[in-house]
């Protein structure tokens, strides 16, 4: 199973988790890659199938999405 095979709501279910736990769960759910984004970090906006994005603050996921 790859991240793209996981239901879309799975990509959004990481908010509130500590980053280490979110990465662990992402691996279990088959995400091909996980991108951690700190506040104010510049990012590219290209869509990558199978990538989980985690916006974090103080080690806690505030938002998560696929691509």
CATH number, domain with residue 22: 3.30.10.10
Please provide the distance, in angstroms rounded to a whole number, between the alpha carbons at the two ends of the chain. Answer: 16
Average pLDDT, consecutive stretches of 10 residues, N- to C-terminus, the chain (67 residues): 47 95 96 96 91 97 96
Any idea how long the chain is?
A: 67
Please tell me the predicted confidence (pLDDT) of residue 7.
37
Domain count, the chain: 1
Residues whose CB falls within 8 Å of the CB of residue 56, separated by 6 or more in sequence, listed in order: 19, 36, 37, 38, 62
pTM for the structure as a whole = 0.82
Please tell me the predicted confidence (pLDDT) of residue 44.
87
Tell me how far apart the 2 most distant CA atoms of the chain are, in Å. 32
Residue 29: domain span: 3-66
């Amino acid at each position: 199973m790859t991240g793209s095979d996981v239901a879309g709501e799975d990509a959004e279910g990481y908010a509130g988790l500590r980053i280490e736990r979110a990465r662990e769960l992402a691996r279990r759910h088959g995400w091909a890659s996980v991108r951690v984004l700190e506040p104010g970090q510049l990012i590219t906006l290209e869509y990558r199938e199978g990538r989980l994005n985690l916006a974090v603050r103080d080690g806690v996921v505030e938002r998560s999405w696929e691509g």
